[in-house]
């Protein structure tokens, strides 16, 4: 089996037979003007390093260039990308003097979240003010850059292991201080979205001829959302999310996915929904296999 990943004019090839991979390369080069760059080390800004125990995927050069462009290469590092429970406001600070610069830096940070999910929440926060940034918003951007300065070499370390899918779902309930919008069903909607992602991953693995020995587990720290997913009686108050209810409940009944309660302290998804104190933030970074390469 040979797998080909194509993005515009960049290609990655892999397979379970070196001879087959080379055969595909030969056939492609006879049809197209192509160059074989050998073993994969760099792809769309992502760097791949090979170690005896696994693959290390990072964007260290991208981070370095971003810090240099932002004049933050010599800044003082900080331990987390945002303050604990940070909430940015639409008022209370003067407008930032260079909105174009703000949008450029924040846009670059968005691309970095591919290998740095630890900054995803903080970047999402500053992204919400692209149209009219304030000085306080740029201070938040600078904190993200200071955090990156101290973790410039970080990335995700992939290691061989048992093929077992575990998903964690969480939502920030009524956490927007700018309008206090009701998000009562946010936990359940997050569960439905996560279930859809897990189903997609199952199909992808099936296409790659990889079998999962047991149903994926979906971890949630909201008892009410779990009850809604397993209770066959659809409560009248939940009819406006009936599609989500049926989608998750049917997957649970079919054994496609299993629900498991997880205590809030062990909720890995917290790093994506709120600002955390340094010890807990560091723990969740480790849970995400984030850090420096392992020897």
Whether the CA torsion 85, 90, 96, 99 is positive or negative: it is positive
- Is the confidence at residue 141, as pLDDT, over 90? yes
Instruction: Give the per-residue pLDDT at 238.
Output: 58
- Using the CB atoms, write b or e for 139-155: b if 16+ within 10 Å: ebbebbbbbbbebbebb
DSSP 30: H
Q: Say whether pLDDT at 219 is over 50.
A: yes
pLDDT of residue 182: 42
pLDDT band at 243 (very low <50, low <70, confident <90, very high): low
Least confident of 171-175, 186-190, 196-200, 273-277: 171-175
What is the pLDDT at residue 69? 94
Residue 172 has pLDDT above 80, yes or no: no
User: Could you tell me the residue ranges of all domains in the chain?
Assistant: 2-38, 47-161+268-295, 171-266
Average pLDDT over residues 226-255: 71
Residues 123-133 have pLDDT tens digits of 999 999 999 99
Residue 175 has pLDDT above 80, yes or no: no
Mean pLDDT of the chain: 87
pTM: 0.84
When mean pLDDT is compared across 34-48, 60-74, 133-147, 175-189, the lowest value belongs to: 175-189
pLDDT band at residue 247, thresholds of 50, 70 and 90? confident
180 pLDDT band, cuts 50/70/90, is very low
pLDDT at 181: 46
Task: Report the sign of the C-alpha dihedral through residues 258, 264, 270, 273, in that order.
Answer: positive
Alpha helices in the chain (DSSP H): 18-31, 60-69, 99-112, 120-127, 135-150, 186-207, 223-230, 242-253, 278-287
pLDDT of 226 = 82
pLDDT tens digits along 12-69: 999 999 999 999 999 999 999 988 888 999 998 899 999 988 999 999 999 999 999 9
Say whether 205 sits in a helix, a strand or coil: helix
Phi and psi at residue 211, in whole multiples of 5°? -95, 140
Residue 229 has pLDDT above 90, yes or no: no
Q: What is the tens place of the pLDDT at every residue in 252-278?
A: 888 888 888 988 778 888 899 889 999
């Amino acid at each position: 089996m040979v797998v080909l990943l194509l993005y515009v004019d960049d290609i990655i090839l892999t397979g379970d037979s070196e001879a087959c991979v080379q055969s595909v390369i030969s056939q492609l080069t006879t049809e197209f003007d192509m160059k074989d760059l050998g073993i994969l080390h760099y792809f769309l800004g992502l760097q791949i390093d090979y170690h005896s125990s696994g693959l290390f995927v990072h964007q260290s050069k991208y981070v370095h260039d971003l810090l240099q462009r932002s004049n933050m290469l010599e800044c003082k590092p900080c331990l987390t990308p945002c303050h604990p429970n940070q909430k940015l406001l639409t008022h209370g600070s003067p407008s930032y003097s260079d909105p174009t610069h703000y949008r450029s830096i924040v846009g670059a940070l968005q691309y970095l979240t591919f290998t740095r999910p630890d900054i995803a929440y903080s970047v999402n926060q500053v992204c919400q003010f692209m149209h009219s940034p304030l000085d306080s918003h740029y201070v938040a951007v600078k904190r993200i850059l200071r955090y990156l300065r101290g973790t410039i070499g970080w990335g995700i370390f992939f290691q061989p292991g048992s093929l077992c899918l575990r998903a964690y779902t969480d939502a920030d309930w009524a956490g927007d201080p700018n309008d206090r919008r009701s998000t009562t069903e946010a936990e359940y909607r997050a569960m439905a979205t996560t279930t859809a992602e897990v189903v997609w991953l199952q199909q992808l693995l099936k296409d790659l001829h990889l079998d999962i020995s047991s149903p994926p587990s979906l971890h949630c720290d909201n008892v009410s959302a779990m009850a809604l997913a397993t209770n066959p009686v659809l409560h009248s108050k939940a009819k406006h999310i009936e599609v989500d209810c049926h989608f998750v409940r049917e997957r649970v009944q079919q054994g496609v996915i299993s629900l498991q309660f997880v205590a809030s302290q062990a909720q890995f998804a917290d790093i994506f929904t709120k600002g955390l104190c340094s010890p807990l933030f560091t723990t969740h970074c480790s849970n995400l296999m984030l850090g420096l390469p392992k020897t």
